[in-house]
Structure 1
């Protein structure tokens, strides 16, 4: 049924998703050009609110759970598993008070309404995966901006999306590089559930009727821990949530 209704509802979802991107592209430009970064950020937050709740057109529910009082006066590294492109709008919206930035492929900075302009102006790191020196330099610059502005960043230590929802081995390089620039950053794991199911058949049809969940887990103080130790701990906590969910379904 999920696939069948996807044939009907996917065009509706894509229409409103694309319309939202097109509407907010000039809004972002005007906000940044005439009112500066803060106005631009507000426009991006609102954009991602609408992108997040476009999921209603696929009959998908969206739940964000955070039982922790996370600080807004220090940088945070949010580390999450990665299941689909639909992970990102919700993270931007729900983490908006933490000014969460992303590490993105430099190819995405051109040609995509709203998304490309945000990547160019929003303060994240746009990296060339074929140029390791450039990538590390951009991530370090992001770390410095985090330190100067008390910004946060979201990283996906798996490196690529887990298309079947199964967590891949986390790599510690991203956390290690950012911590060099922001050694006092708090590490906060986030478990993402079920967004992979939307694209299990690719771009079309998208599937419907899923309970999409983002769960903030116990924050980790870096202290004397190595980046590798932190990454292993983050992966273990996220796996625990996803395995528990799988067990409940079973």
Structure 2
């Protein structure tokens, strides 16, 4: 899900996109309205004094991306905050994606309502959340992927190439940075590809834990984007 600075930006009424695709350790939990505690104010990475009561109904991320190849499963998590018991979440086109409620293994107590979208075909769908007389929307774009892309991506993910290590050697170890759709769903395919080859996150922050400037062929790069999109969203369990 969006990083702490992104959630702050959304709370202030701005929009941004971030991805935690690097090998450096990264928290994927977002601050919630209930993070304000008894004071009623957020304190996010040095920012404080934001009145939690002023934050309206939220759906995060506001725009998501995934793929579909007719063979593998591609899922995207979304979250709705500050909703009441009358919350309704609907899709503009249920032929593009399926929507199911989910739980999220976030150690912070929060008032989030969680869902997982599963792509059913290429296309676009609008997710609408309604509660307390308020309505918010989020957009999901599903790209058509050739099936061969997954195979190429899985091979490079699991195996080293020349002097470059396998992606799994870092990301699958204990404490490895999340680069499942939980962290990457708000990033475009081009953004993810750039992180792989430049070692700079879409937020503009360089990855410093390792030298993350990998050499990959165009086929491997497309494959890695596809493979990462297909990973189960970390921390989410569909109900």
Same-fold call, TM > 0.5? no
**TM-score after normalising by structure 2:** 0.27
Greater strand share, structure number: 2
Instruction: Select the structure that is richer in helix.
Output: 1
Using structure 1 for the length normalisation, give the TM-score.
0.26
